[in-house]
Amino acid sequence: MTVGIVGLGLIGGSFAKAYSAAGHNVLAANRTRSVLDFAVLSGDVRAELTPDRLKECDLIIVCLYPDATVGYLNENGPFIGKKPVVIDACGTKRAVMKGCLEAAEKYGFTFAGGHPMAGTQYSGYKYSKANMFSGAPMVIVPPDFNDIELISRIKEMLLPAGFGRITVTTAEKHDAMIAFTSQLAHVVSNAYVKSPSVMEHKGISAGSYKDMTRVAWLNPGMWAELFLENADNLTSELTSLINELVKYRDAIGCGDKEALIKLLEDGKRMKEEADGR
């Protein structure tokens, strides 16, 4: 299989390494030439993915920011042809799906939305790894839920990446859920470290602090774009969280032990119901 990777950041680099390690032919395009040259030199990428080589690919994975993804497919759509299946790797789906499907219809290529649910707090090719997606969830947003053949084809093409579970959903449901499972956590973590106490935590912090602050170290430009593209869902989740935090603050501030125990019991019970003990 020939796989084209557009963008050799953390996610694109990991896709390139995973497919290369599995013995597939990997072509890649990247804005920074030195990164592409290094990927070729290291053997993770066979050659540059130029516009005239897009039609050679069986699978093309576009690993750029949302606006850049739509821009890339509009610019290079005429060169893709009917052979490749094109998916994206963006963290939001509604706006990306709309723009990419319009390009796919205009230029006659096959597109489906994608979101690999894996990563680290670091960004860039040097932090990418072949086993990044091993056991991780992958979300697919097909243009037509009745196109079982395309969905099966995409699942088969993604096998070398090592995903543990592939979920098929709509762009609307994806964005609503990702606001809670990912974006809210990044906002909270980033805000949490703004406490005046943060500069004095060393020697008096352990696992809880590390877990809570891991994703505070993020890529500001990318996450700002993702947050704003999903502003309605994320704002709703933030409002819900703020309302809950006020209850905890008031119970603690008033010394209301019974109310505080009730809040803590409710949170523990909901965690058990959602994730199991």
pLDDT tens per residue, range 143-167: 999 999 999 999 999 999 999 999 9
pLDDT per residue as tens digits for the range 62-93: 999 999 999 999 999 999 999 999 999 999 99
277 — pLDDT class (breaks 50, 70, 90): low
Q: Which secondary structure element, helix H or strand E, spans residue 85, and what is its range?
A: strand 85-88
Structure tokens at 122: 């670091």
Domain 2-169 in CATH 3.30.300.30? The answer is no
pLDDT at res. 180:
97
With CA atoms as reference, report the closest residue to 28 among 1, 56, 3. Answer: 3
Please enumerate in sequence order all residues whose Cβ is within 8 A of that of 178, keeping only pairs 6 or more positions apart, or say none. Answer: 91, 92, 115, 230, 233
Where in the chain are all domains bearing CATH 3.40.50.720? Answer: 2-169
Please report, rounded to a whole number, the percentage of residues in the chain having pLDDT higher than 70: 100
CATH class of 174-275: mainly alpha
Please enumerate in sequence order all residues whose Cβ is within 8 A of that of 59, keeping only pairs 6 or more positions apart, or say none. Answer: 1, 2, 3, 4, 84, 85, 86, 87, 157
With CA atoms as reference, report the closest residue to 46 among 57, 155, 113. Answer: 57
Where in the chain are all domains bearing CATH 1.10.3660.10? Answer: 174-275
pLDDT per residue as tens digits for the range 129-146: 999 999 999 999 999 999
Q: What is the average pLDDT across 20-48?
A: 97
